[in-house]
Amino acid sequence: MAETTETTWYIVKKLDRTCEIISDQKLKDIPTADILEQWGGFSSRGEAIAKRVGLIRAGKCQPL
């Protein structure tokens, strides 16, 4: 039986004020000095996308 690893998704607000959806594996590679804010972890990428849309509408993030 193959082992499955759950991916957790995060939204990170970068210095240019855009918000990017990234996996927990990629989050480890980003220097903390490059992140203004962070939201998550979300269990699905779709959930993170919906939250990012809300953050853009609320003016907390710039679209890519």
pTM of the model: 0.86
Residues 6+ apart with CB under 8 A from 48: 9, 10, 11, 21, 40, 42
**Strand locations in the chain (E):** 9-14, 19-23, 35-42
pLDDT band at 4 (very low <50, low <70, confident <90, very high): low
Query: Which residue, 54, 63, 50, 64, is CA-closest to 9?
Result: 50
pLDDT tens for each residue of 13-52: 999 999 999 999 999 999 999 999 999 999 999 999 999 9
Diameter of the chain measured on Cα atoms? 46
Residues in a beta bridge with 27: none
Residue 63 confidence class, pLDDT cut points 50, 70, 90: confident
